[in-house]
Chain A
């Protein structure tokens, strides 16, 4: 198996044709099997199959003609495999766009060529930038309804690229398409001879996917301690987890956090097979030289390059729940395999999406809002900046009373604080709050 996998997410406003694009992508890449197409044809009202029905799988979605929840689709071409998160555009379901984008390496943001950039486009671009999705594609859809005019496309592409650049997005690929007719989705369009770039599929197949584990020092959140206590394995004591970042090697000196005890790796089991080294994102079991106390929730790191312990986290938050997040609220913070008590010390800013300015001291974050806050934890935690590691820099805020997932968190300052002049993460560079 030499083909790699690209995880991608779609985003865009309601009725801009996301489901149709996904359906077209699946259909034209011959990923739809006969019985699925027959089922869609049966359910379609018009003469030709409504490709949006391939992805809108819930009764309520078909009734309302909108996508409510993320649907995951799997397809492959000879060049690459794809895991696609088809996410809703409706503002009420923005949290599901966040869900899809959190694991994506590429986001396709759709706009309707007749409407251009709207608030949802900005919201989705901001979310993709904050979640550090490495690649953004702007698909300018419904070009057929604007006569395939080059200036229409170029105006939208320029406006979006300028906005994305302010967000710190390194690169945007803009493609003029008609999802309904299939222009520039899989096959190049005869109507856009002024466009010299790739089709959507061609771009998805060739965009470089980086699994480079070298950005961050090695991290293993311990999920489970394996102790068979059998005659065959009387003394086996292995620390199981999925490597969140970097590489571990046999013989290497490591530190267990939070205890700070230091020892060396004597063996690495990659699911039953001993190996000399293992790296992210493999699930492994580490064997250590000394009988140190290690349990679920601990973090194993190289002794050179341990994260600092902190009880104060400055973070960017995407609030996902109907109940607003409030100053002073007590929650559970879930980071890696560890859960600690936390309090929202202060919500410092909320991001205004239309112009990327910051409204200071908002007291609470409503659902779908993006903001920055200072959190304090009951015990020290070892978070990396999200800018360095999307895995060990991410956390959830969970409601202790009913267990609901309230907020997605990304450690580190992602946008500029009022009164300073330097953006640490790129977002809002020129837009100090007024």
Chain B
């Protein structure tokens, strides 16, 4: 065997594994944000490889908006059981029921996730919180460090980030503060899909083309549900679609697609002229700086 330049995916994988092991070595109570979406699924897969043959030394945290796709919740529970992991759930519905949070007029619950998330981090005293955020997703995320220090209110201050040099990550923090950790920072959407294909990772079925009842709102195909759709003026039709991202039903749109295999999905994404968030996320269109504003408040 002779030395060669590692493939693009090998290099990304090694970098992410290095980050997982740094956190395991430096922090007391790390947790992985796990939504059942493809990025968090890849994160968990990398964590499993990083500590093999031992188990992952982290628990999982899901922020449940109450409007999740049933296929995704089912996937989440199967994965947790299969790997003997501990799952924490922060429930947006619970906060609404208690009157702490109020439903927004547009029915979108993504911005409501911040409070349950940050309170759960405080209550469980998590000191490192892994997120699947990628810098290619959005212009505010492009500014994010791999280790991102958050104060006791989970706030992100982009002007006061620590310089981050070489692969030396500084995770020191005061009690009450925590560090958001982004092992997939340097991955693109296409890298994620190519890695899923290479590693043969199982995904929730909604990522592949299937026939589903949908209706159109603001140019996106949404799934009908108790969350508030369709309205009287909106009509439901059956279309062949798939999802590029997985999130709250009220703001995650499906795309027309006949890609039923990983190979077909990769071909479709490589040819797409839309970013995944532009194609399927309503919440980022709320304002020019929607993501930055949410991140400042503690969103992941």
- Contacts from A to B (Cβ < 8 Å): 1, 3-5, 33-36, 39, 42-43, 54-55, 57-60, 62, 68-74, 81, 83, 95-96, 98-99, 102-103, 209, 211, 213-214, 223-224, 226-230, 232-233, 236, 240-242, 247, 269, 271-272, 275-277, 279, 281-283, 296, 320, 334, 337, 390-391, 394-396, 398, 402-405, 408
Cα separation A240 to B275 with both chains bound (whole Å):
36
**Chain A proximity of B57: nearest CB distance (Å):** 9
A-B contact pairs, 26 of them (CB 8 A): A1-B7, A33-B274, A39-B278, A57-B292, A59-B292, A69-B159, A81-B8, A98-B163, A98-B165, A99-B165, A103-B166, A209-B5, A211-B5, A224-B21, A227-B54, A230-B53, A236-B54, A271-B52, A272-B52, A281-B11, A320-B163, A394-B166, A395-B168, A403-B170, A405-B162, A408-B165
Interface string of B63-93 (1 = CB under 8 A from A): 0000000000000000000000000000000
A81 to chain B: which residues have CB within 8 Å? 8
Cα separation A68 to B139 with both chains bound (whole Å):
13
A240 & B292 in contact (Cβ 8 Å cutoff): no
Which residue of chain A is the closest to B141 with respect to CB atoms? A57
Interface string of B191-215 (1 = CB under 8 A from A): 0001000000000000000000000
Cα separation A5 to B140 with both chains bound (whole Å):
23
A35 & B21 in contact (Cβ 8 Å cutoff): no
A404 & B25 in contact (Cβ 8 Å cutoff): no
Report which of A42, A57, A296 forms a contact with B140, defined as CB distance below 8 A.
Answer: A57
A282 to chain B: which residues have CB within 8 Å? 6, 10, 14
Cα separation A55 to B22 with both chains bound (whole Å):
30
Cα separation A98 to B14 with both chains bound (whole Å):
23
Cα separation A98 to B167 with both chains bound (whole Å):
13
In B118-139, the 8 Å CB interface with A consists of 135-136, 138-139
**Chain A proximity of B220: nearest CB distance (Å):** 12
CB of B96 closer than 8 Å to a CB of A = no
**Chain B proximity of A138: nearest CB distance (Å):** 24
B50 & A240 in contact (Cβ 8 Å cutoff): yes
A242 & B167 in contact (Cβ 8 Å cutoff): yes
Cα separation A69 to B243 with both chains bound (whole Å):
33
Which residue of chain A is the closest to B22 with respect to CB atoms? A223
Report which of B25, B139, B167 forms a contact with A224, defined as CB distance below 8 A.
Answer: B25
List the 5 shortest-distance A-B pairs measured between CB atoms, nearest first.
A35-B278, A57-B139, A403-B172, A228-B54, A283-B17
CB of B158 closer than 8 Å to a CB of A = yes
- Known contacts A224-B21, A224-B51, then 11 further A-B pairs from the complex at CB < 8 Å, ordered by chain A residue: A1-B194, A33-B273, A55-B142, A70-B143, A223-B18, A226-B51, A228-B54, A233-B54, A242-B167, A277-B1, A282-B14
Which residue of chain A is the closest to B134 with respect to CB atoms? A74
**Chain B proximity of A396: nearest CB distance (Å):** 5
**Chain A proximity of B65: nearest CB distance (Å):** 24
B5 to chain A: which residues have CB within 8 Å? 4, 209, 211
**Chain A proximity of B95: nearest CB distance (Å):** 28
Which residue of chain A is the closest to B171 with respect to CB atoms? A403
Cα separation A70 to B164 with both chains bound (whole Å):
10
Report which of A57, A99, A275, A404 forms a contact with B164, defined as CB distance below 8 A.
Answer: A99
- Contacts from B to A (Cβ < 8 Å): 1, 3, 5-11, 13-15, 17-18, 21-22, 24-25, 49-55, 135-136, 138-140, 142-143, 149, 158-159, 161-168, 170, 172-174, 185-186, 188, 194, 272-275, 278-279, 288-289, 292
Cα separation A277 to B6 with both chains bound (whole Å):
13
Instruction: Count chain B CB atoms within 10 A of each CB in A69, A98, A230, A283 and give the residue with the most.
Output: A283
Cα separation A277 to B1 with both chains bound (whole Å):
7
The prevalent SS among residues of B at the interface is loop
A4 to chain B: which residues have CB within 8 Å? 5, 8
B135 & A402 in contact (Cβ 8 Å cutoff): no
Which residue of chain A is the closest to B138 with respect to CB atoms? A57
Which residue of chain A is the closest to B3 with respect to CB atoms? A279
A240 & B21 in contact (Cβ 8 Å cutoff): yes
B6 to chain A: which residues have CB within 8 Å? 211, 281-282
A272 to chain B: which residues have CB within 8 Å? 49, 52-53
A279 to chain B: which residues have CB within 8 Å? 3
Cα separation A402 to B7 with both chains bound (whole Å):
39
A95 to chain B: which residues have CB within 8 Å? 163
Cα separation A101 to B161 with both chains bound (whole Å):
17
Cα separation A74 to B11 with both chains bound (whole Å):
15
Which residue of chain B is the closest to A97 with respect to CB atoms? B163
B138 to chain A: which residues have CB within 8 Å? 57
**Chain A proximity of B161: nearest CB distance (Å):** 6
**Chain B proximity of A386: nearest CB distance (Å):** 10
A269 to chain B: which residues have CB within 8 Å? 52
Cα separation A332 to B51 with both chains bound (whole Å):
28
**Chain A proximity of B100: nearest CB distance (Å):** 28
B24 to chain A: which residues have CB within 8 Å? 223-224
